[in-house]
Homo-oligomer: A and B are copies of this chain.
Amino acid sequence: MIWEDTAGAEKARLEASIPQEWRVTIPQDVKSTLSLPQDTNVLTEAELRITNASATELVKQLGAGQLTSVAVTTAFCKRAALAHQAVNCLHDFFPDAALARAKELDQYLAEHGKPVGPLHGLPISLKDQLRVKGRQTHMGYTAWINKVDQDSSVMVDLLERAGAVFYTKTSVPQSLMVCETINNVNGRTVNPRNKDWSCGGSSGGEGAIVGFRGAVLGIGTDIGGSIRVPAAFNFLYGLRPSHGRLPYAKMANSMEGQETIHSVVGPLGHTVADLRLFVGSVLSQQPWAYDPKVIPMPWRQSEEEAAKAKIASGQLTLGYYECDGNVLPHPPIVRGVKTVVNALQGAGHNVLPWEPYEHPYAVDLANKVYASDGGADVYGVLKESGEPAIPNFQDLINPSLPKLDLNEVWDAQLKKWHYQMAYLKAMEAFEKKHGRELDAIIAPITPTAAVRHNQFKYYGYATAINVLDFTSVTVPVTFADKGLDKVNDTFSPLTKMDEAVQAEYDPEAYHGAPVAVQIIGRRLTEEKTLAIAEEIGRLLGNEVAS
């Protein structure tokens, strides 16, 4: 069988999983599909209200028996079906299994008068790296189609124990190593706000489905921006926790066993409270008892409260940077950073310029690590089916690259440690100079607003933070505005990449595209960094529950 047949059959199976009564017709000339749920009659008014609510609000009502899981699951299944028709975000869709599970949870609540756990009855979307026993995880590789998972990922088991309902697995780019979402099985996933824009990647299907509110919470992974970029491009919050905080065990991956820069797993959602609900629910299940890489560190309420006290008293000290020394962001992003700085300063906090310490060095190191096996792992899987590499990946990593020798990898690992150490020293110097603790750093997460297809060129704003293993939260800020964000006519390129990226800016084409920043905390500061991100959302007026 040639690979096109296998991939085509899988795509047909997926399309057939959308029930007839949830199908709609979408005019070809529509750019934004965000209003599709309102504009069609697949969802009832009640279902629209449910899918527009926050996860925090939903679990409250589910736990109190004010909403049934069947009702909530039905609503999200319908909206996910619309999302897929609109933006092509699914790899797998299993509403029947989800509704059966929802029914069981409703019965449990009726019988026991209490929820099974903190996520009782809540549908959660899964990136197609998370395994669900009995289903498949093709991850965009033709060779992996129809391989049935014998075991669930630890994250899936724990969420299930906390009461979550699974109904979707969402699209990823081939290899997971790029920040747009396209593969030979499913094709391309686009942005619900404008089909000419990317939904981001590699957790692009999650970004798109949550952005469309076909899911209220999604789970992504991030080795070089793959949670933060789709969050940014879909006007969402996204948490890249530090390595060891949340369980990655038994998930599918590219380049498995590569540990020089770890991929991490984390949530995407509409509010920080929802991300906190997710993290707290997982930690309450003691993930370290199942995934040996997880640190035995429960949710530290005291850290959250200390941060909130500092916030309440207007005593935060934040650094910020607009340019990392490699590539200047487009005007909407520079304005986004300024907007956040102004909002915090307006609330009395200290916001001071942060000199991004040798980020170009970190970016080079990251690229070396990502390409360290010369693509052997990814190209090996492609060879199994005979399918070609997607151009987005081939441009980054291809078999002509030399594989690193083991001692070269050790050298890279040592360099990483030394770089991290030097970064801490730079932070210490900042703190000594200003006599204040540096609470977090405000920075671009991409140089562009939600990018046009095949235009994602520079990963460095994301990857430098992966090298540091710092906690980072994407915060949606505003939208590109052709009236405000004029072409930068004093621009003088720092690098060839800088020139190429800036040349892509077109005020008309990007008008309305989501603009985000990342809030960067030290390693394993999820409680504090989320609290600061939440406060920024509150100050901007973007943190709305529904």
| A522 to B373 alpha-carbon distance, docked (Å) | 33
Mask of A374-391 contacts with B, CB within 8 angstroms, 1/0: 001100000000000000
Mask of A20-33 contacts with B, CB within 8 angstroms, 1/0: 00000000000000
Among B257, B260, B522, the residue within 8 A (CB) of A411 is B257
Mask of A461-484 contacts with B, CB within 8 angstroms, 1/0: 000000011000000000000000
Query: Contact at A523–B421, with CB atoms within 8 Å?
Result: no
Identical chains in the assembly: 2
Query: Contact at B404–A406, with CB atoms within 8 Å?
Result: yes
- For residue A355, CB closer than 8 A to chain B, the reply is no
Query: Contact at A428–B469, with CB atoms within 8 Å?
Result: no
Residues on B with beta carbons closer than 8 Å to the beta carbon of A524: 295-296
- For residue A420, CB closer than 8 A to chain B, the reply is yes
Query: Contact at A409–B296, with CB atoms within 8 Å?
Result: no
| A411 to B258 alpha-carbon distance, docked (Å) | 8
Residues on B with beta carbons closer than 8 Å to the beta carbon of A249: 417, 421
| A367 to B76 alpha-carbon distance, docked (Å) | 51
- For residue A372, CB closer than 8 A to chain B, the reply is yes
| A26 to B376 alpha-carbon distance, docked (Å) | 62
| A267 to B413 alpha-carbon distance, docked (Å) | 26
Mask of A300-341 contacts with B, CB within 8 angstroms, 1/0: 000000000000000000000000000000000000000000
Mask of A267-305 contacts with B, CB within 8 angstroms, 1/0: 000000000000000000000111111011100000000
- For residue A540, CB closer than 8 A to chain B, the reply is no
Could you give 17 example pairs across A and B, Cβ below 8 Å? A257-B413, A259-B259, A288-B523, A291-B421, A292-B423, A292-B424, A292-B469, A292-B523, A296-B522, A296-B523, A376-B406, A377-B407, A377-B410, A403-B405, A404-B406, A405-B406, A406-B406
4 closest pairs, A vs B, by CB? A257-B410, A292-B420, A257-B414, A257-B413
